[in-house]
Amino acid sequence: MKCKVGVISGDGIGPEIVREAKKVLDKIGRTYGHEFVYTDILMGGCSIDATGVPLTDEAIAQAKASDAVLMGSIGGNTSTSPWYKLAPELRPEAGLLKLRKSLNLFANLRPAYLYEELKAACPLRDDIIGDGFDMMIMRELTGGLYFGARETKEVDGVVTAVDTLSYNENEIRRIAKRGFDIAMKRRKKVTSVDKANVLDSSRLWRKIVEEVAKDYPEVTYEHMLVDNCAMQLVKDPRQFDVILTENMFGDILSDEASMVTGSIGMLSSASLNDTKFGLYEPSGGSAPDIAGKGIANPIATILSAAMMLRYSLDLDKEADAIEQAVKQVLKEGYRTIDIMPQEAEKRASVREVGTEQMGDLIAERV
């Protein structure tokens, strides 16, 4: 099969981790007889430097012409990079938000799974980890605070900044359905996370989720306030199957969930619309603190490529092959620095490798 893959390498560690994911895809291609044809697409800081804007119309057209897009990460150090002196709509992140909106990528799936082999990298106590956990964060991605009206104004010498959190019932219904659909293929439990004790948008969220739940009698569901959810994620992460939530809450909770799986470098993601198309990227960022050092963990990006095979290209057995290869490499004791065991005495039992070697090891085992 011939697959057209748009590739957004982006900024910081982006090009380093995307290179390894392409290496693994190419091995899949050779092993299973597929051809991945890549088109490089500019987005983020590198696009600002080249074109003056974080995402051009041409880049959007290139993404739309692809079967799926694989992405690294965009952005720089938000305190020191000159990109953050630009107007908000010209900054790197504005490119990513525009791409998500242009392609209607409203459903963001972030699977947080603790590999047996990574228990020593998990900061939680053994009795909390138990036999591990496996949750799917279903984050709404094209609404809420990220896309509401905003304004910074000065009145009588006092500056006020406003961001608006708005959702309509249709936006909530379509993501809720996705959440329940996914739950039906998993352990049939949905935890819908909101702040309905304070926010109108959350009260509407809760009402619509209740309506959608009626169509899924086999699914157990509950509502949880977001502050409690943040606490429960470290107190007892095993209670969660599908976490269904709005854009900003999902952004924050998914970073937290990633750390209980060992590292943000392990958390893959798929951003989907109503078609087969998807944007696949690690959940973490451009990691300016480690960019260029060859130590970033490429596994989240490699697992995102596996999600691309599964969701956009219908290549399930090839996706399985990547996931098995990742498991195998971890079993053999190879670790990037971010997933090294927390306790010093356990570090002697594993081998630290860099970004490129981790990519080689996984590709070899496909």
- For the annotated catalytic residues, the residue numbers are 146, 195, 227, 251, 255
Q: Which stretch binds ligand IPM (CB under 6 A): 93-101, 111-119, 272-280, 306-314?
A: 93-101
Question: What token pair was written down for 365?
Answer: 């085992």
Q: Which stretch binds ligand IPM (CB under 6 A): 90-98, 200-208, 292-300, 320-328?
A: 90-98
Q: Angle at the Cα of 79 (from 108 to 91), degrees rounded to 5?
A: 50
DSSP tag of 28 = H
Question: What token pair was written down for 142?
Answer: 């094209």
Residues 281 and 9: their CA atoms lie apart, in Å, by: 10
Q: How far is CA 267 from the centre of its chain?
A: 6
Q: Which stretch binds Mn ion (CB under 5 A): 116-124, 132-140, 245-253, 341-349?
A: 245-253
- Shortest spacing between CB 270 and ligand IPM, in angstroms: 12
Binding mask 322-341 for ligand NAD (x = CB under 6 A): ----------------x---
Question: What token pair was written down for 267?
Answer: 């958390």
Residues 181 and 121: their CA atoms lie apart, in Å, by: 31
- Shortest spacing between CB 283 and ligand IPM, in angstroms: 5
Q: Which stretch binds ligand NAD (CB under 6 A): 30-38, 49-57, 207-215, 293-301?
A: 293-301
User: Residue from 15, 132, 148, 288 that binds ligand NAD (CB under 6 A)?
Assistant: 288
Residues 162 and 306: their CA atoms lie apart, in Å, by: 39
Please, which of residues 253-272 interact with ligand NAD by CB under 6 A? 264-265
Residue 294 is labelled as binding a ligand: yes
The DSSP-derived string for 283-296 is: SS---TTTTTTT--
Task: Specify the pairing of strand 242-245 against strand 189-194.
Answer: parallel
Residues 67 and 35: their CA atoms lie apart, in Å, by: 13
Binding mask 80-119 for ligand NAD (x = CB under 6 A): -------------x--x-----------------------
107 near ligand IPM, judged by CB under 6 A = no
Please, which of residues 268-287 interact with ligand IPM by CB under 6 A? 283
- Shortest spacing between CB 159 and ligand NAD, in angstroms: 23
Residue 287 is labelled as binding a ligand: yes
Residues 223 and 208: their CA atoms lie apart, in Å, by: 12
- Shortest spacing between CB 34 and ligand IPM, in angstroms: 28
Q: How many residues does the chain have?
A: 366
Residues 253 and 245: their CA atoms lie apart, in Å, by: 9
251 near Mn ion, judged by CB under 5 A = yes
Residue 297 is labelled as binding a ligand: yes
Residue in 167, 121, 177 with CA at minimum distance from that of residue 147: 167
User: Taking the CA atoms of the chain, what radius of gyration do you get in angstroms?
Assistant: 20
93 near ligand IPM, judged by CB under 6 A = yes
> Which residues in this chain contact Mn ion in the complex, by CB under 5 A?
251
Residue list, annotated binding site for NAD(+): 285-297
> Which residues in this chain contact ligand NAD in the complex, by CB under 6 A?
13, 17, 73-76, 78, 93, 96, 264-265, 281, 284-290, 296-297, 300, 338
